[in-house]
């Protein structure tokens, strides 16, 4: 008898749909207004739910903002993961490609450009800088899992340190870009390549 794929329970699927709908409504709103100008009532109305439903699902406004930033960051991580997996046989190239992909995608994303233009009054910038721990933690965990899966000879603690360092550097470069993305990627490889070699016990 053929294996039947596990089905997502209805409550789980319904909650996922609700969260995605609310986060999509926020992204649409941010295409026209700053974070500070968008109210929770606006988001709930555009998503077709009550404001109480939004608060029940995400908690405070800041928690909703952090969830939004993490969700948006996941789209970049999808591309980063593909870049790493495409070059597992050449770790230095994998490292450079991951940075190149992330920074290029960030530079082309309208939401990221809006954050970069924030002078501190828009309200979204702190969620990717001073209040970015949820974003850093989620991104570092995923990147560490990808690297540990691709390079199982590396100690878990070493991979986690490398992943968090890469994520923090990527966010820093995305917020304060310096030159073309490929130049930045090459610089990061020069800086972290020796540590990567030690982690992987390469000569």
The per-residue pLDDT string of the chain (203 residues; one tens digit each, 9 = 90 and over) reads 456 567 889 889 999 999 999 999 999 998 888 888 899 999 999 999 999 999 999 999 989 988 988 888 888 888 899 999 999 999 999 999 998 988 888 778 777 776 666 655 666 667 666 666 777 888 899 999 999 999 999 999 999 999 999 988 888 888 777 777 778 888 999 999 999 999 998 64
Instruction: Write down which residue in 18, 38, 59 finishes a domain.
Output: 59
Based on the fold, state whether residues 99 and 35 are members of the same structural domain.
no
Based on the fold, state whether residues 51 and 115 are members of the same structural domain.
no
How much is the pLDDT for 131? Answer: 66
Based on the fold, state whether residues 71 and 157 are members of the same structural domain.
yes
Based on the fold, state whether residues 103 and 194 are members of the same structural domain.
yes
Based on the fold, state whether residues 50 and 72 are members of the same structural domain.
no
Question: Is 2 part of a structural domain of the chain?
Answer: no
How much is the pLDDT for 172? Answer: 83
Question: Is 1 part of a structural domain of the chain?
Answer: no
How much is the pLDDT for 121? Answer: 60
Q: Number of structural domains, the chain?
A: 2
Question: Is 4 part of a structural domain of the chain?
Answer: no
Question: Is 89 part of a structural domain of the chain?
Answer: yes
Question: Is 13 part of a structural domain of the chain?
Answer: yes
Based on the fold, state whether residues 46 and 91 are members of the same structural domain.
no
Based on the fold, state whether residues 48 and 79 are members of the same structural domain.
no
How much is the pLDDT for 4? Answer: 57
Total-model pTM: 0.74
Based on the fold, state whether residues 130 and 85 are members of the same structural domain.
yes
Question: Is 3 part of a structural domain of the chain?
Answer: no
Based on the fold, state whether residues 43 and 139 are members of the same structural domain.
no
Based on the fold, state whether residues 180 and 112 are members of the same structural domain.
yes
Domain that includes residue 129, residue range: 65-199
SS (H, E, C) the chain: CCCCCCCCCHHHHHHHHHHHHHHHHHHHHHCCCCHHHCCHHHHHHHHCCCHHHHHHHHCCHHHHHHHHHHHHHHHHHHHHHHHHHCCCCCHHHHHHHHHHHHHHHHHHCHHHHHHHCCCCCCCCHHHHCCCCHHHHHHHHHHHHHHHHHHCCCCCHHHHHHHHHHHHHHHHHHHHCCCCCHHHHHHHHHHHHHHHHHHHCCCC
CATH of the domain at 34: 1.10.10.60
Based on the fold, state whether residues 157 and 110 are members of the same structural domain.
yes
Question: Is 85 part of a structural domain of the chain?
Answer: yes
Question: Is 14 part of a structural domain of the chain?
Answer: yes
How much is the pLDDT for 58? Answer: 95
Based on the fold, state whether residues 147 and 185 are members of the same structural domain.
yes
């Amino acid at each position: 008898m053929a294996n039947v794929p596990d089905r997502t329970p209805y409550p789980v699927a319904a909650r996922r749909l609700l969260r995605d709908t609310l986060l999509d409504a926020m992204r649409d709103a941010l295409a026209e207004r700053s974070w500070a100008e968008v109210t929770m009532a606006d988001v709930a109305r555009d998503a077709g739910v009550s404001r109480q439903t939004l608060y029940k699902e995400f908690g405070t406004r800041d928690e909703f903002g952090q969830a939004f930033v993490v969700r948006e960051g996941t789209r970049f991580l999808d591309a980063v993961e593909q870049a790493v997996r495409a070059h597992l046989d050449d770790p230095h190239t994998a490292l450079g490609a991951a940075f190149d992909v992330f920074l290029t995608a960030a530079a082309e994303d309208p939401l990221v450009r809006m954050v970069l233009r924030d002078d501190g009054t828009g309200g979204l910038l702190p969620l990717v800088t001073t209040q970015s721990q949820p974003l850093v933690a989620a991104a570092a965990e995923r990147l560490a899992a990808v690297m540990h899966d691709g390079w199982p000879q590396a100690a878990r603690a070493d991979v986690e340190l490398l992943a968090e360092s890469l994520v923090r550097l990527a966010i820093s470069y995305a917020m304060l870009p310096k030159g073309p993305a490929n130049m930045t990627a090459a610089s990061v490889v020069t800086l972290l390549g020796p540590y990567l070699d030690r982690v992987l016990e390469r000569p």
